[in-house]
Structure 1
């Protein structure tokens, strides 16, 4: 099995200079900390709602500007909103460069998140252990920033049925891995188990 690629060295945006660092990476403001260490990919629920409601960048916490970057999956397009807050374009670029899910270093979601944070991963049951989805970066303006609410007033995310300045691919969907059972079935269907020299003669 090939060794996972290390994220390429990239300098974080200047606006994120005050953020803590861990393992050589800048820790996004929205990231959850447990037992003195950050769990990348796990967002503080309260900070997520604060960022969406007050138009803050999920990475650096500063107010969003004239262009707002959103990381969008096909499932988000279907739902009509993205549940993660927006980012400054430069903060999004840094996240894409170093995040193993966004830069294609990882091809599957975590199978079992740490017990301490499992309760904060609302998407865990749906995505756990599954192949990574395709991701795109969408850019909108402040005029197109609209919050999606649930029937009970819960903040769901940022609406996607708004004018979009630009869309660009971030990563392709990972290919599903063949299980041993599926591989055996495929060999049987293709008759790969038979001898290339044909059946033996008596």
Structure 2
């Protein structure tokens, strides 16, 4: 990486102080933002069922000592399953501030990237998908304000 990179951050990540996504090179962010369904807004809800646990080679992985990333659902997936998509931001930081965060159960594998950093620039990639009730209430407020919301 060069001296700057982008972190993809949701409000829940910011509250936790850690993003599960690795950094993106500044030149790669436009591609990711254009082609990732969650970032470009074409996906309106999180998947109800996670991807099956597979090895990067495309076959099921049952070896507990294999270093391949886990594809099994985590607590975060279960909490988001079927929920409307969150707001996503891209935070530009200096790479010297890029610090992996390690979970208590796996001190040898990072669980994310620390968000306790100086942010040079924030860019909204997508706003949160509103629920039907939130859309209805927004419409009511819009009507009261003469459409200026």
Structure 1 segment 184-195 matched on structure 2, within 5 A: none
Partner of 2:83: 130
Task: Determine the C-alpha separation between the residues in 2 that align with 1:65 and 1:140.
Answer: 11
- SS in structure 1 of the partner of residue 40 of structure 2: coil
Asked if 1:158 is matched to 2:113, the reply is: yes
> What is the TM-score of this pair, normalised by structure 1?
0.53
Note closer, same or farther for the CA distance 1:172–1:112 as it changes in structure 2 (3 Å cut): same
Task: Determine the C-alpha separation between the residues in 1 that align with 2:94 and 2:9.
Answer: 16
Task: Determine the C-alpha separation between the residues in 2 that align with 1:103 and 1:85.
Answer: 18
Task: Determine the C-alpha separation between the residues in 1 that align with 2:25 and 2:51.
Answer: 29
Q: Give the number of aligned pairs.
A: 117
Task: Determine the C-alpha separation between the residues in 1 that align with 2:7 and 2:126.
Answer: 14
- Unpaired runs of at least 5, structure 2: 55-69, 137-149
Contact 2:52/2:72 (8 A) holds in 1: no
Superposed CA offset, 1:84-136 (max 9, x none): 11010121110100111111111101112344569434332121110000000
Larger radius of gyration: 1
Partner of 2:94: 141
- Unpaired runs of at least 5, structure 1: 1-63, 184-202
Task: Determine the C-alpha separation between the residues in 1 that align with 2:51 and 2:118.
Answer: 38
Partner of 2:125: 170
Task: Determine the C-alpha separation between the residues in 2 that align with 1:148 and 1:115.
Answer: 25
Aligned to 1:112, which of 49, 52, 63?
Answer: 49
RMSD between aligned alpha carbons? 2.3
Superposed CA offset, 1:142-173 (max 9, x none): 22111222334252211111111111111000
Q: Which has the higher contact order (CA 8 A, sep 6+)?
A: 2
> What is the TM-score of this pair, normalised by structure 2?
0.70
